[in-house]
A and B are shown apart, each in its own frame.
Chain A
Amino acid sequence: MPLIHVAGSEKFVFEERASDELCAIASKFVPLHTVDAAAELAIDPLTYEVIRHRLSAITDDMGDALKRMSGSVVVTDCNDFNAAIADEAGDLILVGQYNMQLAASLDMAIKWTLEHRSENPGLRPGDMFFCNDPWIGGGLHQNDASVFAPLFYDGELFAWSGAVCHQVDLGGVSPGSWSVAGTDVFWESTPVPPVKIVENGTLRPDIEDMYLRRSRVPKLIALDLRAKLGANNVAQQRLTQLIDKYGPRVVKAVMKKMMHDAEHRLRSKLRSLPDGTWGAVAHQDGARAGDSNIYKIVLQMTKHGDKLTFDFTGTDAQVEGFVNCTFAGVRGGIMPIILTMLCNDIPWAPGGIYRCVEIISERGTINNCTFPAGIGKASVASAWATQNAVSECVAQMVGTHPQHRKAAMSCCQGTWDLALLAGVDQRGAPFVTMLCDPMAGGLGARVDQDGVDTGGQMPIPMGRIADVEINEFSFPMLYLWRREEMDSGGPGRYRGGLGGSSCFVPHDSPLHGVHLVVSAPGKALPLAPGLAGGYPSATSYDVLMRGTNVQQMLAQGFIPGDLDEIDGRHEVLPSHVETNMAANDVYFTHWQGGGGYGDPLRRDPHEVALDVASFRVSPRAASDVYGVMLKTDGTPDAGATEARRRDLRRDRIGAGAA
C-alpha cells in the first residue's frame, strides 16, 4: 500500500517555536521559573564553574543509574543510551557523553509536552512523561524510548531531566522491531506521544501495561523503564540539593549562562573559519527487503559569519520501507558532529549551540518524513546517513583552519551493520537482542594521523562493545571469532580506522537455532567517504553459511578462523533480510571502518609495511592502492615502490581521462 497521508497526524509533529513564545503558552497553566539577564551577570566565575561541573556530574550519575538498573546488554555493556538536563523551556543545558543522537531530540519532546500537555493532564511535582514518537522527539526511532520529568522548586517548574535508551523490542512485525519487509509505520512499533507515566511519584500501571503489552520481552522492557525512572529520580534529587545549596536564582543563571557561553564560543569559532559552501551526499542501498534501489541525502552546508546553515534540498522523497527518519533524525545527524568536531573545546550545551544553526529540510523527504512513513530503522539509517553528510562538510570546513584542522576527521563507520537475534535462550527464556559489536566501528583518518582502529563511532563517545563472553553468556550463540578486518579502513596518506567482523553459530538454544534479522546498507557502495582524495572505507559484507560442518570441526577441537575453512553453502546477504539460523549455520558480519585522508600514494611506505605486517592492509592493497612493494623480509623495496607508484600515477590520468 502506498504511503497515504493520515489526517490529524499533523498534531504529532514538533514545531519549532521561540522559547519565549513557548513559555507564554505553558505559563498559562504552570508557573515557570526563570531569571533575568542580570542574574547571569552576577555569577562569579568560580561559582559558575563549580555548578557547571556539578550539573555535568549529574548527567554522569544519571548514566550510572541507568546502567546499574537496566538488564539489557545494549545499555549495560554498550552504552546505547543518554541523559540530559534542560531548562524550564526545554532548552538542553547539557547532554551526557553517551549516544548524542538520542539526546539531541529530547528537547523536542519536552517542548511538545510543554505546549500540548501543560493544560491537560497538566505538569505537577512528581510527574514523569514517556514518549517514543520520533515525529515529536525524544528519540530517532520507536525503540528510543524516553522518560522525562519536570523539576519543580518552590512551586515553579524549574527544569527538566530526561533519559532515553534503546529498547531491544517494542513490538512490530519483526523481532527487535526492525521490520525489514515493512513499507510504512504500521508494520512497526506504535509510536506513543508523550503520556504521563508517573503521576505524583507513582508509576501508573495502566500506562505501563499499555506500553509493555506490545513487547516480546516485557520484563526486560519493564526493567529498562524503571532504570529510566531511576535516572530521573537521581537527577531530581541531585538538582534539588544543588538548588537548596546555591538558590534557584544562581543555579538557573548558571544554566542560562552555559547555553550563552556555548553559543558565543561557537559563534566565535565560526567567525574564525572562512565563509563558504560545502556539498556532500550520503547513500543508502535498499529501503526494505527486496529493494535494490539506492537513495540519497544531499547536503549543502553554508557557513556565513557566525552561522551554519544545513540545506538538505535535493534529498530523495520518503520511501516505502523502514529507513526514513523524522526531523529528529536530521537534528540527531547534525548535533553529534557539531559537538565532537566543532565543540571539542566548548561546553556541550545544545540549547545554545542550536542558536547558531539553521536547518532547511523539506517535509516528505527521506530524512524528514511524514506520518505514516516507516521509521523503524531511522536512527541507523537516514539519521546516520545525515550524519555522514554533515561530518564530511564540517570536516572540510574545519580543515581549512591552521589550528582547528586537527579536529577534522574523515567519516567514521558509514553505517550500522545490524544483526538482530531472537528466539529462546539457553535458560529456556524468550530473548531478543541487537548485536552491538558494530559499536567498534573504525574512526575516520585525521589530517595528521590514522583513524583509530575499531575506535567507536562519532555520535557515541562512550560507546563500547560487550565482551564476547558476556554475549555468549547472555544469548544462545558461540563466537568463532571477533576481530579487526584487513583492508576495512579507507586508504589514504592517513588510513581510516579498521572496522571489524564477528562470526558465530547458534549455540545451546532448545530450539537448536535462532531467528536472524539483518539490516546493513553499504554493500553496493561504501558509506564512509574519505577526505582530500582519501578513499572510502570498505563496504559492509555479511555472509550466511548454511549446512556447514562447523559442529564437527568444533567437536574435533578445531576453531575455524576463516570462512574458507568451513564447508557449506555460501550466501552473500543483501542489505535487508530476515531468516532463521539452524545449528549448523554460520553467520559472518563485517562492518565498516573509517574513511581515509589524502592520497594513498603519498603514504609513508614504512607505514604501509607495518600495516601489512600487522594484517591491517593486504599485500594486494599495498601494491594496487598504496603502490608499495615489499621485500621478502616485509620491508619496503624503495626502487620497486618508486616504479610502482610512477606506473600508478601514469594510469590515473592516462587513457580514460575525461
Chain B
Amino acid sequence: MIHLDDNLMLTDDGAVMCAHCQTRLGENSHEPLAHAVRRERPSRDAGPGVHADPKTFTTREIVLRQLFCPGCSTVLATEIVPRDEPSFRHWSLGAKA
C-alpha cells in the first residue's frame, strides 16, 4: 500500500482507493480516478479568492473543475481552467519513459 497523497492510496493489487472511505476510485494506476465524480461550476464558486468575474478579462469561459470521491465526497483534484480545454492534470504510475 502506497500513500499517493492526502486522499489516495495505491493498493497492492494496483487499484487506487480513497484513503478516507476506501472507495475504489480506479482499477489501476493508469486510470487512477476513473470512478471519481467530475463537476464543473463557475470559477467564482471557488470562494472570495477569485476577485473579479473572468469575463472582465477574457472572452473564454473559466470554470472550477473538480473530482470527488463518490463514497465520501472528498475533493480529490481541483483546477480553475478555460472550460473549452481538456484537463491536462493526469498522472499514471509505472509508465515507461
A533–B7 CB distance below 8 A: yes
A298–B88 CB distance below 8 A: yes
B89–A487 CB distance below 8 A: no
For the complex, what is the distance from the CA of A302 to the CA of B58, rounded to whole Å? 33
Q: Which residues of A contact B22 (CB under 8 A)?
A: none
Interface positions, chain B 25-49, Cβ under 8 Å from A, are 29, 37-41, 43, 46-49
Of B52, B78, B81, which one neighbours A535 at CB under 8 angstroms? B78
Q: Does A396 contact B (CB under 8 A)?
A: yes
For the complex, what is the distance from the CA of A279 to the CA of B60, rounded to whole Å? 23
For the complex, what is the distance from the CA of A335 to the CA of B75, rounded to whole Å? 31
B59-80 Cβ-contact flags toward A at 8 Å (1 or 0): 1101000111010111111111
Q: Does A274 contact B (CB under 8 A)?
A: yes
A274–B2 CB distance below 8 A: yes
For the complex, what is the distance from the CA of A525 to the CA of B79, rounded to whole Å? 10
Q: Does A7 contact B (CB under 8 A)?
A: no
B75-97 Cβ-contact flags toward A at 8 Å (1 or 0): 11111111001001111111111
B78–A533 CB distance below 8 A: yes
Beyond A490-B49, A533-B66, A653-B70, is A280–B58 a contact (Cβ under 8 Å)?
Answer: no
B47–A653 CB distance below 8 A: no
For the complex, what is the distance from the CA of A598 to the CA of B8, rounded to whole Å? 11
With both chains docked as a complex, state the minimum distance between the C-beta of B51 and any C-beta of chain A, in angstroms: 4
A491–B82 CB distance below 8 A: no
B46–A535 CB distance below 8 A: yes
For the complex, what is the distance from the CA of A25 to the CA of B76, rounded to whole Å? 53
A274–B5 CB distance below 8 A: no
Q: Which residues of B contact A210 (CB under 8 A)?
A: none
Of A292, A529, A597, A625, which one neighbours B6 at CB under 8 angstroms? A597
B91–A396 CB distance below 8 A: yes
Beyond A309-B97, A599-B74, is A529–B47 a contact (Cβ under 8 Å)?
Answer: no
Q: Which residues of B contact A402 (CB under 8 A)?
A: 3
With both chains docked as a complex, state the minimum distance between the C-beta of B31 and any C-beta of chain A, in angstroms: 13
Q: How many residues of A contact B (CB 8 A)?
A: 74
A621–B48 CB distance below 8 A: yes
With both chains docked as a complex, state the minimum distance between the C-beta of B62 and any C-beta of chain A, in angstroms: 5
Beyond A590-B51, A649-B73, is A276–B3 a contact (Cβ under 8 Å)?
Answer: no
Q: Which residues of A contact B82 (CB under 8 A)?
A: 283, 294, 525
Binding site for A on B (CB under 8 A): 2-8, 29, 37-41, 43, 46-52, 54, 56-60, 62, 66-68, 70, 72-82, 85, 88-97
- Contact sample, A vs B, 27 pairs, CB 8 Å cutoff: A275-B93, A275-B97, A277-B95, A278-B91, A298-B88, A304-B95, A304-B96, A399-B5, A400-B4, A523-B57, A525-B81, A533-B66, A533-B77, A538-B50, A539-B50, A539-B51, A541-B51, A572-B56, A598-B7, A600-B75, A618-B48, A621-B48, A652-B37, A652-B66, A657-B38, A658-B37, A658-B38
The list of the 5 closest CB pairs from A to B, nearest first, reads A304-B97, A538-B49, A649-B73, A533-B75, A281-B88
